Amino acid sequence: MRGETNERRSWSERTFTIIVNGRKKEVATKELSYADIINLAYDNNPPTGPNIVITVTFKRGENDKQGTLLPGDSIKIKDGMIFNVTATDKS
């Protein structure tokens, strides 16, 4: 039992290295939300406004998955995953 507890503890303390808009980021969670990724991309200061649309794409996910995240989505991450976050003005 004791070894099992240590194994769980080391997994929960693990960090993952991901790339967000070309910059390495260290995260300590296995899952990130659309909002989490935007905050990583813009250092917790994302652009705002009535016409701002933010697109989040990813590649190198689990099983080499790639795609787009929408508001409210979450994704399991792995080391080396790449995220591109783009804000545009839809006006």
Q: pLDDT per residue over 32-87, tens digit each?
A: 999 999 999 999 999 999 999 999 999 999 889 999 999 999 999 999 999 999 99
Q: Could you tell me the pTM of the whole model?
A: 0.83
Q: Which residue range is the domain that position 34 belongs to?
A: 2-89
What CATH number did the domain enclosing 28 receive? Answer: 3.10.20
Lowest mean pLDDT among 2-6, 17-21, 86-90: 2-6
For residue 43, give every residue at least 6 positions away whose Cβ sits within 8 Å of its Cβ, in sequence order, or none.
Answer: none
Across the range 20-27, mean pLDDT stands at 97
Choose among 61, 54, 62, 60: nearest CA to 37: 54
Query: Looking at the 3D structure of the chain, how many domains does it have?
Result: 1
- pLDDT of residue 3 exceeding 80, the answer is no
